Amino acid sequence: MAKVITLLKLLPRFHQILLSILVVITLAVLLMPTDNAQASRATNHSLSGTVSLADSGSNSNSTENANVYPVPLAFRKPLAPSSEAIAQSVNAPSGQTLSHSTIDTVATPAEPVEISKQFTVRKGDTLAALFKRAGLSARDVYEITQLPKAKKNLLKILPGEEIEIVKTQAGELSKVRYHLNPISTLEINKQDSGYSEQVVDKQVESRTKFANATISSNFWNAGVNAGLTPNQIMQLATIFGWDIDFALDIRQGDNFAILFEEEYADGQFLQNGNILAAEFVNQGDKYTAVRYTDGNYYSAEGRSMRKAFLRSPVDFKYVSSSFNPRRLHPVTGQVKAHRGVDYVAAVGTPIKAAGKGRVIKSSYNQYNGNYVFIKHNETYTTKYLHLKKRNVKQGQTVKQGQIIGTLGSTGRVTGAHLHYEFIVNGVHRNPRTVKLPQSLPIAQKEKTQFLALSQQLMAKLEQNKQVQLAAQ
């Protein structure tokens, strides 16, 4: 360099000037392609990729990409595009397409990098306090709370909830996200034009799942082992509770199979849905149930599962022993058929009316203890003895399943139990085996549609059972 300057000094002044001008022009020409590249990148930015970047040099391109990709995964993941969100991202200026979008948009060079951070609402937090912690201005708080949905939801934030705040690289607010529920997210966008809000919904998809089990210890354990939730086990017992006394009639070797819905939002498990179809084999008798579009369950042939009487006035989950058909009578200590059925459970267990009817007795004596008799119609009467507490009065009408009292040990007993009697035309019958009045079939005009659904679901159930069997 020094040599060049010495050489220049030897030249005439005119030549010196000429050479200097030449050097300046050369430098300018050398620099120009870079300027062009930047210009084209800027153009590309606003026109969404219509200008070719071929000349701008792959080096700078790949650095841009490297800058874009580190956008936290969590940032893109929670919001798969619902149709609304897609429309939004197409219309929006490309500066803020990062959110729901396709990899394409994210990978576009020169996309500004945004930084997303989750803030947990602390005890005693207000939105203003949280925003301050997030480094946002009082103006952001003010403007956002002018938006109706934001006002409604963000001013009621609770400790433990999370708010996602997205900022530009320059530290300016870009977005606020708040989960309204597992499916919907409130999203607030800050643009040059101002603040806007929208609710973005995840797509909920329903999948059908199969489970089956053979009972070896008790129904509850079999359900748990089959992967059912407590809620599903109770649902299953409710569906078949009109036909099967889950408290006393379940035996080893009984089995069940069910098809149920599982809801997923963006591929992530959300919650269990309805039981769609089920079958239960109890002591060799097979019962089936199919859920129809009206939300009710019918047998595969279309008879209502709901009947005039519950098989058992006590929920099975309370009843202590359900596996000993030769269980000793809690009063006499002998195996003996007597005029009713005894349900042994904890004092205080709720007792349900087996069917709708009128309370013809609600009283106390030294043998029965506290007792309730219900007359359902001219044919049927049910009796409930040894109650701790009576919840109904004589003359009162009760609905099926209504809690009429609690299990106790009043009267002539040695231990707490419910003594339950079922009387048909004045004759005591075994409530566990008595033939109950037939339930109504599905409406005639629904029958064709129901049977089509039923056949399809029962076939699927059968098919799953076969697959399971083959796998064992």
Residue whose CB is less far from Zn ion, 254 or 342:
342
Q: Is 385 helix (H, G, I), strand (E, B) or coil?
A: strand
Nearest-10 crossing angle of helices 13-47, 2-10 = 130
Residues 332-351 that bind Zn ion (CB under 5 A): 340, 342
What's the distance, Cα to Cα, between the start and end of the chain in Å? 85
- Alpha-carbon gap, residue 49 to 41, rounded angstroms: 9
Which amino acid is it at 83?
Answer: S
Burial 113-127 (b: 16+ CB within 10 A, else e): ebebeebebeeebeb
Q: How far is the CB of 419 from Zn ion (least distance, A)?
A: 3
Residue whose CB is less far from Zn ion, 307 or 419:
419
Residue whose CB is less far from Zn ion, 335 or 452:
335
CB atoms closer than 10 angstroms to residue 368: 21
Nearest residue to Zn ion by CB is 419
Residue whose CB is less far from Zn ion, 275 or 416:
416
Q: How far is the CB of 218 from Zn ion (least distance, A)?
A: 22
Residues 401-440 that bind Zn ion (CB under 5 A): 419
- Alpha-carbon gap, residue 408 to 86, rounded angstroms: 62
- Alpha-carbon gap, residue 95 to 86, rounded angstroms: 15
Q: How far is the CB of 421 from Zn ion (least distance, A)?
A: 8
Residue whose CB is less far from Zn ion, 125 or 342:
342
Q: How far is the CB of 302 from Zn ion (least distance, A)?
A: 37
- Long-range contacts (CB closer than 8 Å, 24 or more residues apart) made by 359-365: 359/392, 359/393, 359/394, 359/395, 359/396, 359/397, 359/398, 359/404, 360/394, 361/394, 362/390, 362/392, 362/393, 362/394, 362/396, 363/394, 364/410, 365/411
Q: How far is the CB of 368 from Zn ion (least distance, A)?
A: 10
The DSSP secondary structure of 166-196, one letter per residue, reads EEETTS-EEEEEEESSSSEEEEEEEETTEEE
Residue whose CB is less far from Zn ion, 251 or 412:
412
Q: Does 383 bind Zn ion (CB under 5 A)?
A: no
Q: How far is the CB of 386 from Zn ion (least distance, A)?
A: 8
Residue whose CB is less far from Zn ion, 383 or 419:
419
- Please state the φ and ψ torsions of residue 309, each to the nearest 5 degrees: -130, 140
Q: Is 394 helix (H, G, I), strand (E, B) or coil?
A: coil
Size of the site for Zn ion (CB under 5 A): 3
Q: How far is the CB of 412 from Zn ion (least distance, A)?
A: 10
Q: How far is the CB of 429 from Zn ion (least distance, A)?
A: 15
Residue whose CB is less far from Zn ion, 222 or 385:
385
Residues in the site for Zn ion, rule: CB under 5 A? 340, 342, 419
